[in-house]
Chains A and B, each alone.
Chain A
Amino acid sequence: MSGGADGANGAAGDDGRPTLAVWKFASCDGCQLSLLDCEEELLMLAGAVRIAHFTEMSRASTPGPYDVSLVEGSITTEADAERVREVRAMSRRLVTIGACATAGGIQALRNFAGEGEYAGMVYAHPEYIAALETSTPISAHVEVDFELQGCPIDRHQLLEVLTATLAGRRPVIPGHSVCWQCKGRGTVCVLVAKGTACLGPVTRSGCGALCPAVGRGCFGCFGPAETANTASLAAQLRHQGMAPLELSRFFSTFNAAAPAFRDEAVAEGAPVRVALGATRRNRPWGAQ
């Protein structure tokens, strides 16, 4: 692997402040914008680091190396696969942000489709498109120091990761399910009390359990929790009347290619075209 901690030494900016760079790959920019959304804290951040490269904020860009790189987006072209290796080589710490960068994003639906199927639907001349057959997370290409999940990420979590990184401590980003935050804020469980399908038990917390708080089921935009028993939750949802196709689609959104979600979507009948990476941890429960 190229880059890594040794790839870039002494990145601190001229004035001694550490440098921060923000990079974009295949993505919608929403996660980067969370950084601009920080408003008050952004001024503090701009005081604590030198923002050396962030095209959503400024055209001015200082060459690397950088102390911290935030990487948004997935890898969908050969050129990007090469570019992310360069970013890695220039970065002391590389933090991926969002569903695209950590799981491949919504564009990873192509991983399940026939070759060129989506390109044919979207572009008049798909032959002009030079893209890889798959959309893959950054961690499939280079070593990543920290992955922050969410579609989009939560800005408080982003600030926590940056603050912790600058302070040299471990970021307080729990790996448990959305249910923790849901119960913590006193929301009545929509799955148990209303029979509403909810992916909260297998989805990583971080959003503050937004959707159940307004009476909706979680649809998994933060991607899988650390221990995600998707097979058991799927069995329960099936028991509550969800059809396999519906279930498969439920797991196939912004984090469709995250292994825990992908395996369940496939188990429920989503087509498999590309080779699947990691094997599933849990056997399906209830399926004989």
Chain B
Amino acid sequence: MRVGEAAVIDPRGLDELIRLLGDLGYETKGPVVRDGAIMPGAVRGVEDLPAGYQDEQAPGHYRLRRGEGDSLFAWAVGPGSWKAEMFSPTEELWRALVHGDDVSITEPESPVAPLAIIGARPCELAAMAVLDRVLADSAVPDPHYVARREGAFVVAAECGHPAATCFCTSMGTGPGVESGFDLALSELNDAGGHRFVLRVGTERGADVLARLSVAAATVDDLAARNQMVSRAAGAVHRQLANEGLPALLARNQEHPRWDEVAERCLACGNCTLVCPTCFCSDVRDTSDLSGEVRRGRVWASCFDLDHSYLHGGSVRTSVSSRYRQWLTHKLSTWWDQFGTSGCIGCGRCIAWCPVGIDITEEAAAIRETDGAVHAATARGVGPR
């Protein structure tokens, strides 16, 4: 089977595929049920996948339930994203032993096994592409990210059950997927049986598939897959109006809405921490009493006062300025920096915000009252 072609496999075939990837030396990870949510975890075979689970998502709300069926992918993304696998929340960069003038530096070993991701959603593939532009295709690529990302084998899973928080259709990132995968699954569970259309995206994917005995997908299978994707697209109701959005936000820096949302915003950082494209990190040097010095990297967020700490103090002291930084970076200045939107429409920041602040609602509110100005600014009191 060649790139662009499609096979059809049943759950047993999927099980064989996962085990084959394991035998080929990949560390196989995929969606698992953990602590009441779909989370990335070790997947050794089909039995580890979340059969029959369905999610319910809304702003500030997520519930996972065991339903009737046996579908493996009848849910939308949970709080964990594949970002954490490639861009670790904490990473030791190097350590040094200092004894007088004698300094010896050691760097940690790179990870051993390459990763095979089973069932990455279309928006997550889009997120990886966005992160690639930031961390891999930049003037100074991040070696840790590049090492994990380049070796990774990606088996995508198209969406049949978007959540109420998803808005991938606005961002052009789902619920179907055409590129960015080695293999792509589309789960069908109808009168024709429980099966997966399996499309080949790369030579590497074709090589793996060649080791399994699979049948070519029929015209009916492909039609059922198309139907599933368009039905899913119709079920995505949340929207973000993208037209002229970067400029709209750029000219509304003094909009009163920033203060209004700051009344609710906890500055807790959850939105940035669940976002699959947020890439901010902090480099921290620590020393201990034995003379060992360590340099580490940890995820950071623009909701932290320290994020804007310059000599003498923090620049973004108000929560409104921090919320504005987040939203305008995602939807406006990311374009200036990287030529894409920083948001791929996964809705994680909406569901996992403890107080349910909704990025699409905030952007829409500013659009509705384009040009409104904070009262103090209008009176010439000056910047907040």
Asked if A and B are interacting partners, one says yes
Whether the Cβ atoms of A232 and B265 lie closer than 8 Å is: yes
Complex CA distance for A205 and B65, rounded to whole angstroms: 31
Q: Please determine whether B270 and A201 come into contact, CB atoms closer than 8 angstroms.
A: yes
Please provide the chain B residues from 195 to 243 with a CB less than 8 Å away from any CB of chain A in the complex: none
Which chain A residues numbered 150 to 203 have a C-beta less than 8 Å away from chain B? 159-160, 163-164, 166-167, 169, 172, 174-177, 179-180, 183-189, 191-194, 198, 200-202
Question: Are the CB atoms of A47 and B289 closer together than 8 Å?
Answer: yes
Which residue in A183, A185, A283 is a CB contact (below 8 Å) of B274?
A: A183
Chain A contact-residue range equals 35 or more
Q: Which residues of B contact A (CB under 8 A)?
A: 34-37, 39, 60-64, 78-80, 84, 89-90, 263-270, 273-274, 284-290, 298-299, 301, 303-306, 319, 351-352, 354-356
A176-B306 contact in complex given A159-B288, A227-B319, C-beta closer than 8 Å: yes
B267 and A177 within 8 A (CB): yes
Determine if A200 and B268 form an interchain contact, defined as CB atoms under 8 angstroms apart: yes
The answer to whether B263 and A192 have CB atoms under 8 Å apart is no
- Pair B266/A201 contact, Cβ less than 8 Å: yes
Query: Contact between A187 and B273 (Cβ–Cβ < 8 Å)?
Result: no
B55's nearest neighbour on chain A, judged by CB, is A193
Specify the chain B residue showing the minimal Cβ separation from A215.
B35
With A48-B289, A163-B289, A193-B62 already in contact, 16 other A-B pairs whose C-beta atoms are closer than 8 Å:
A44-B289, A47-B289, A164-B286, A177-B266, A184-B298, A185-B89, A188-B78, A189-B352, A191-B354, A192-B79, A225-B267, A229-B267, A229-B319, A232-B264, A233-B354, A282-B263
With beta carbons under 8 angstroms apart, the residue of B270, B286, B306, B354 that contacts A175 is B306
Of the residues B263, B269, B273, B284, contact of A172 by C-beta under 8 Å = B284
B264 CB, min distance to chain A CBs, angstroms: 5
Describe A's contact surface by its main secondary structure.
helix
Docked pose: A285 CA to B266 CA in angstroms: 11
Contact residue among A163, A176, A185, A193 (Cβ-Cβ distance under 8 Å from B64): A193
Q: Is A226 an interface residue (CB 8 A)?
A: yes
Contact flags (1/0) for A230-274 with B, using CB distance below 8 Å?
001101100000000000000000000000000000000000000
**Interface pairs (15), CB distance under 8 Å:** A45-B289, A47-B289, A164-B287, A169-B287, A180-B269, A184-B273, A186-B80, A189-B354, A192-B352, A192-B354, A193-B63, A202-B266, A232-B266, A233-B354, A235-B355
